Structure 1
Amino acid sequence: MTTSVKVKGVKRYRHPKTKRWYAYHRASGTRLQAEFGTAEFFQELAEIERATKIAAPTPGSLGLVISEYMRSPDWTVLRPATRISYEKAFNALAPIHDMPLARIDRSFVFALRDKKLLKRHGVWLANYCVTVLSILFRFATDRGWMKLNPLAERVKKIRQTRENGAGNRPWSEAECHAVIERAPLHIRLPLALAMCAGLRRADFLTITLAAVKDGAVTVRTSKRGVPVSIPIHPILADAIAHRPRSDSVVLCVGARGEPWTAMGFNASWGKLRRQLEQEGVIARGLTCHGLRHTLGTRLREAGADDRTIADILGQRSTAMARHYSENAALPDHAKALVSGLDLTGRKGVADVDKVSTLTD
């Protein structure tokens, strides 16, 4: 079925970077997983529609707010990855979907977070659910469904501790080495981009082959829109040189040569991480975002100042007004710092020039 064909009750969205199409059930906001137009697609659509009719939200409830929010322009402008995160929060909040808005106050939300969500889902999702609730309450208040937003005032987040696990902690040299050595080629490349260029998942899963040029990876960061150009570290050069065969213009691809989805990468990386944890090769708590902290830590140890680290990681300080050019060229000393970092305790030996064959 061509992309021009319309299906009643389905909205289609094309990702501006990956050019992949996504299909959503309009009434519920649920993303359909099957390929558009296939028999599996229409079967999945029918099941979603049946479930939506059966589980119609209770009037005046939190579930109704969620349903209306997912029908609104506020939802349609969100990136696919952000919608997936919101859906995680919606699912975690499922036990209170039928709760009337009038019964939800600030003290209830704190009790829900600390006594239920934290124990069942961990620190990150417990905090994230409160963030999503504040957005839903603002949405409801603006439409007159709630008199006051109980989360209008900022909520202090639960902090990570040694007991509940340090969030996004830096990786040790031994952990970096073990993961890079053991990771299959299709997982190694995205991890190397996070480790050696400090890219966030939203960036390392979507950048194209054109981003690799003249010995650097150049990208405009998705979170802050800051253009950065990071010299290719030997570890990253080796990972790029051994990229799985693919016709895709996206740099990071799975084992079959197709661009990663966020959920697919998370599942594959999670499986590898759990295996290495069970073998005692790495400690618990490794995250891809922790590799940004790793790079920042190594740069600090190498003598980089705050401004240099911020330039390399694509951070924009509120105290600075420096203009970032399209090329976002780093100072020579920063380039040397990145290229010379010993991230794994073993110096890289790959030739950066090998990666040019991908874009020639």
Structure 2
Amino acid sequence: MSLRATGKLLLSASGTRAELDRLMEGADFLHAYSTAERKRQRQYAAGTFGALAERYRTSKGFLSLAERTRDDYAKVLLFLDRCADYSVEMIETADVVEMRDIAAAEKGEKFSDFVIAVMSNVFRDAMEAGLMKSNPAKGVRRLYKASDDANRRWSEKEYQTAYSLAPTHLRPVLAIAKHCGLRGQDIAALTWENYRTDPDMGKVLAFIPKKNGKKVGQITIGVPAALRSLLDAMKVGDGTVQPATNAPICRNSLGKAYPSENAMRQVWQQMKLSEEFKDALPDSADLTLHGLRVTFGSELRESGFSDREVADMLGDMSEGMGRRYSRGAEMRKTSVRVFKKLAK
């Protein structure tokens, strides 16, 4: 498959439909498509929203976003192409509200929140460059309210049943999320270099999270016995050749690294659609991988750890915390204390 407007080869003739779907959902495809469309139709004039949006699309802030966020924002930028000719000098808060409401009507309230966020980022980038004096998206009300049951906590029975039904390649994904509370984007990126020996906790997962990584630094989480036995068995490899240090811990059914968090999440969604899963867990169709992170945090809180300690374990960042530059050391102290208490 090649993009008609550019002739660029995007997928070989032997590519599958699933690969095509993943490709067309990715930020690279969306960017290539929108670029081709702009070249075919028009160039953005200076002083227009389109010119600012194009500037933001190539900015360090946009390119440094997590892959999933960049994908979401790329879709929003395509949506906002309809207001590309708006004069920057004439844009007011009312215009942002109008785009929010159009997005909510056409694509839902959750998407409309992304519209506000992206427009705000575009304007902020322009302000830093001296192209705007204020941010008309600042203070615009969000419409989407997540359900209280979204990413809900898993019961122990649900986890054990799902784990037993899961294909071998999906089990480490579930186990790492359950026992260490990692985000999906970090699980997909883990390599064997991140699985290390530690003098206080035996084995740990040590990594820099994709979200807030520059602020929280490296996170070190003790690996409990149930997860350690699984990872140690995987680390042995075929008994002769062990996985390389830079090899991914979690792989898809073909033994390859997951190309994205979305691809990993799709495997879980496909499993939930199986008749075997539906028969065993008929009331669990709403389970999510992120819900295992919620489960991890909930269990820590019930074990007596403070909200601050739970946040440390999850790699969360809180404004006004006052410990931004010592979080690495503080997080390790928390991790050792949590590991030893749970081990008892």
- Asked if these proteins are the same fold (TM beyond 0.5), I'd say yes
Match of 1:20 in 2: none
Displacement of 1:332? 5.3
Match of 2:312 in 1: 311
User: C-alpha separation between the residues in 2 aligned to 1:306 and 1:121?
Assistant: 36
Alpha carbons 2:313, 2:335 under 8 Å: kept: no
Correspondence 1:252 to 2:240 = no
Correspondence 1:84 to 2:71 = yes
Match of 1:154 in 2: 139
User: C-alpha separation between the residues in 2 aligned to 1:331 and 1:142?
Assistant: 39
Pick from 28, 31, 47: which aligns with 2:28? 31
Letter in 2 for 1:157: R
The aligned runs of 1:75-224 (5 Å cut-off) are: 75-78=62-65, 80-101=67-88, 104-113=91-100, 115-143=101-129, 146=132, 148-151=134-137, 153-158=138-143, 160-162=145-147, 166-213=149-196, 214-224=202-212
Aligned length: 298
SS at 2:139 equivalent: coil
Letter in 1 for 2:160: H
Displacement of 1:146? 4.7
Letter in 1 for 2:251: V
Displacement of 1:133? 0.8
User: C-alpha separation between the residues in 2 aligned to 1:310 and 1:147?
Assistant: 36
Correspondence 1:226 to 2:227 = no
Letter in 1 for 2:258: W
Displacement of 1:294? 1.5
Alpha carbons 1:63, 1:98 under 8 Å: kept: yes
User: C-alpha separation between the residues in 2 aligned to 1:316 and 1:261?
Assistant: 27
Displacement of 1:161? 4.8
Quickly say closer, same or farther: Cα 1:174–1:32, change in 2 above 3 A: same
Displacement of 1:54? 0.7
Displacement of 1:130? 1.0
Displacement of 1:232? 1.9
Match of 1:25 in 2: none
Match of 2:227 in 1: 236
Letter in 2 for 1:69: Y
Question: Deviations 1:189-218 (Å, cap 9, x if unpaired)?
Answer: 223222211112232121221222333222
Alpha carbons 1:310, 1:316 under 8 Å: kept: yes
Question: Deviations 1:269-320 (Å, cap 9, x if unpaired)?
Answer: 3333455886663545444333222111111222222233233222355335
SS at 1:215 equivalent: strand
Question: Deviations 1:53-76 (Å, cap 9, x if unpaired)?
Answer: 214344354333222322344444
Alpha carbons 1:205, 1:252 under 8 Å: kept: yes
Quickly say closer, same or farther: Cα 1:331–1:223, change in 2 above 3 A: closer
Match of 2:297 in 1: 296
User: C-alpha separation between the residues in 2 aligned to 1:274 and 1:91?
Assistant: 31
Match of 1:266 in 2: 265
User: C-alpha separation between the residues in 2 aligned to 1:101 and 1:52?
Assistant: 19
SS at 1:195 equivalent: helix
Displacement of 1:77? 4.4
**Percent of paired sites with the same residue:** 24
Letter in 2 for 1:293: V
Alpha carbons 1:178, 1:282 under 8 Å: kept: no
TM-score, L = length of structure 1: 0.67
Quickly say closer, same or farther: Cα 1:48–1:105, change in 2 above 3 A: closer
User: C-alpha separation between the residues in 1 aligned to 2:35 and 2:77?
Assistant: 18
Please provide the CA RMSD for this pair.
Answer: 3.8
Displacement of 1:258? 1.9
Question: Deviations 1:219-251 (Å, cap 9, x if unpaired)?
Answer: 233333333332223443355335897655222
Quickly say closer, same or farther: Cα 1:78–1:324, change in 2 above 3 A: closer
Q: Judging by fraction of residues, say which structure has more helix.
A: 2
User: C-alpha separation between the residues in 2 aligned to 1:103 and 1:250?
Assistant: 50
* Higher mean displacement: 88-97 or 269-278: 269-278
Displacement of 1:170? 2.7
